[in-house]
Amino acid sequence: MRPRALGRAGWTALTVAAGTTLATRVWFETLPARWSFSTLDLFQFFYTTAARAGMELSHGRLLLWNPDVGLGTSEVADIQIAMLYPPNLLFAVLPAAWAIEVVTAFHVTLAAAATFLLCRQTGLCIASAAVAAVALGAGQALHMLSGWTAILATFSWCPVACLAARALGDAPGPRRGLALGAVLGLQVLAGYPQLHLYTVACLPLFAFGPRPWRRGTVRVAGWIIAAEVLALALGAVALAPAMAAVGASIRSRAALEPWFYEILPVRLASYRAGLAAPDLDARAPLYAGVLVPLLALAGLVARGAAPRLRVPAIVLTAVAIVFSLGRATPIFPLLWRLPIAHWLTGPYKWTYFAAFGVALLAAVGTESLAGAHADGTAIGWGRRGLWMALGAALLAVVPFSASARLLGALTLVGLGVGLTRRRPALVAAALPVGAFVAILAGYDARTLRPKDDMGYFTRYAPAYHYLAARQAEGRTFLLMPPLAIAIRQGEIEGVAQVNTYESFFGARLFAYLGAVTKGAQDPAQHPRMTALLRAVGARFVMTPHDAHGWLAGFGLERVLTSPAADVWRDAAVLPRAYVARDVVVVSSAGALARIGDPDIAAAHAAVLESEEDVPPAVAARDGEATVTLEEPTSVRIAVRSAAPALLVLLDAWSPDWRATVDGTPVAVRHANVLARAVAVPSGAHEVVFRFVPVAFYAGAAVSLVALSGSVLAALFLVRRGRVRAGRRRLATA
């Protein structure tokens, strides 16, 4: 593709990609809706976190610490929220449901347009590039990710990065290296580092082409490394706090459950089903109609055709399929032994890269079958026969619908016998249209679409309205079936909840919630369960309507009854801030069991951990504590005690919380497993807790320096280019 045609190609790519994406999204709206795993994660996490972050951004604030989730959580440590990712700024100006749809359409369009340009950059005609854009923009792979917004956003930058790598391979230099670094940096900020790692692994395929050891390889590799370093620096504001938090979360190597390493296992049979028809919960979402896989087969057998794209596409597809199989191959079991094993869970994510590779192969197949390119690229007669045989086998083995098989058979005959030799341009132009129609035809009533409203945000409205008006009394614990309610709905309803769902679940909170859940299911454990709730200040308990009536036997009062949920109030819980009347010191391993003792809340006691430096004389019988000022990142408490005492604040402990007593820094210890405590001297004092996310600030500083340096470098390169262009004009004048 000639440089002067880049502008026109860009508009063409945008038109094809946006038209394909929008038409597909509109088509989805005509289909019935049903529950899916993507719907579950959307409303359990992505919808609520995006809505809450948008609320804060609309008021000019970053959501650093969220007091309404758990006993409080560091949102800057959860990289999947991606509140600093530029497209997510839409959540500050649009309703969350609209913003999610706009952001989804944007990312699908971005990926499809970049795929189109990548095909054009490697010499394919417009029609062939359009087939690739249609395969990705209308196929199931990207649209299935609409419920996993961080995964979709991160993966959508993969085709853009491959396009930038291809340009860098053609002419390595600072300008294109800087462009690749910017693309990879945006991918890091999008919120799913694992797919970023996979993308970086794919870049050499497109940067080096089919002959990787040609002259200049070392220079290209050097620029790729420099671009990745720049990307990590640009994304340090999100990466640094996430890396600091992972060690104490269930995502750490030590805490990760074995089953999580291969969640949603993929097998070769999954690809057979995934090619045939769309399924919201497909293990291998490769569905793109019947024409795309047939055209991809043509690209596979078209030896010598478009090698700069064909060879990388074949390698990418093959590697992605093998890696996606997880335990079925020896590769991932070996990778899981590495120190970074916890970043390599869920091999199914490679299926999206396989879908990208199939789209590229379909473009090569279109080019070679139609022979519409200026150089007459076409599959020879022998390979056409091979393609027809393989295509017939594909139609027989993959359980396509009858109409899809008929269309596929007609395509094999029409293109296989060489009819395209008569009107190659016309046939090439018809293929993307035919592929698009064939894809949409497969999204029928049997397929359905992700359900937008599972009743999460309306069913429990009366209970949440009641609780929102009583936040000064204490937090709420949701004793509800986990798939029947959005665990994080409270953060958009103004209700602080004890239990929650998040990406970097703290290991302590996870163990605590497991103990409460187990206690609720076993009548013999009911005393322990209520004690666990009282020890962390769970004033209210929400239960399904007319369920858990046994709570009344432990002193809880039913204060609200609604068709979907009841609310119980517990007068015996510990207050959010209190001076401990007794202190119990146990090991960290035994702390959870100890707060399950009903005497802890009854005695206004605190459980400290022997591994930490426990201050002497910390029990006070007549102390008082009053919260005088509360902000998301700051809490002030007035304390009075006749003797040295221990102040307990039932907010989540975090290494980023600092405390002072009358301006003097003091140590913050674990109390009651999840909360925090400080020692205070006798008399009246003011204790101030401040949230200081050091890793976030350090990452922000690195990102700011990287961004400033990138902007200055870009301005310098633009100016230098203009000066050189002016000199050339003068030289030729």
CA distances to 285, 336, 342, 352 from 331, rounded to whole Å, are: 22, 9, 15, 18
Q: From CA 282, how far away is CA 716, in angstroms rounded?
A: 48
pLDDT, position 502: 84
pLDDT one-digit tens code per residue, 391-430: 999 999 999 999 999 999 999 998 877 665 566 778 788 8
Closest residue by Cα to residue 281 from 172, 145, 434, 425: 145
pLDDT, position 257: 83
DSSP secondary structure letters along 567-599: EEEETTSPPSEEE-SEEEEE-HHHHHHHHTSHH
Please give the structure tokens belonging to residue 54. 């948008």
pLDDT, position 449: 72
pLDDT one-digit tens code per residue, 351-373: 999 999 999 999 999 988 886 55
At residue 529, the 3 state secondary structure works out as helix
pLDDT, position 482: 76
DSSP secondary structure letters along 478-521: E-S-TTTS-TTTHHHHT--BS----TT-BHHHHHHHHHHHHHHH
pLDDT, position 37: 75
Q: From CA 162, how far away is CA 611, in angstroms rounded?
A: 50
Q: From CA 714, how far away is CA 718, in angstroms rounded?
A: 6
At residue 328, the 3 state secondary structure works out as helix
Owner of token pair 């062939």: 128
Q: From CA 320, how far away is CA 356, in angstroms rounded?
A: 10
Angle between helices 694-732 and 236-246 (to 10 degrees): 150
Task: Answer yes or no: are the C-beta atoms of 477 and 516 closer than 8 Å.
Answer: yes
- Measured in Å, how far apart are the chain's first and last C-alpha atoms? 28
Closest residue by Cα to residue 639 from 690, 677, 613: 677
Report the phi/psi class of residue 28: left, alpha or beta, with left for phi > 0 and alpha for psi in -120 to 50. Answer: alpha
Name 483's Cβ contacts closer than 8 Å, sequence gap at least 6: 40
Q: From CA 624, how far away is CA 639, in angstroms rounded?
A: 6
pLDDT, position 419: 61
Closest residue by Cα to residue 24 from 133, 139, 154: 139
- Which residue ranges in the chain fall short of pLDDT 50? 1-5, 374
Q: Which long-range contacts (CB under 8 A, 24 or more apart) does 58-66 make?
A: 58/92, 58/93, 61/632, 63/632, 64/632, 64/633, 64/691, 64/693, 64/696, 65/632, 65/633, 65/691, 65/693, 66/491, 66/632
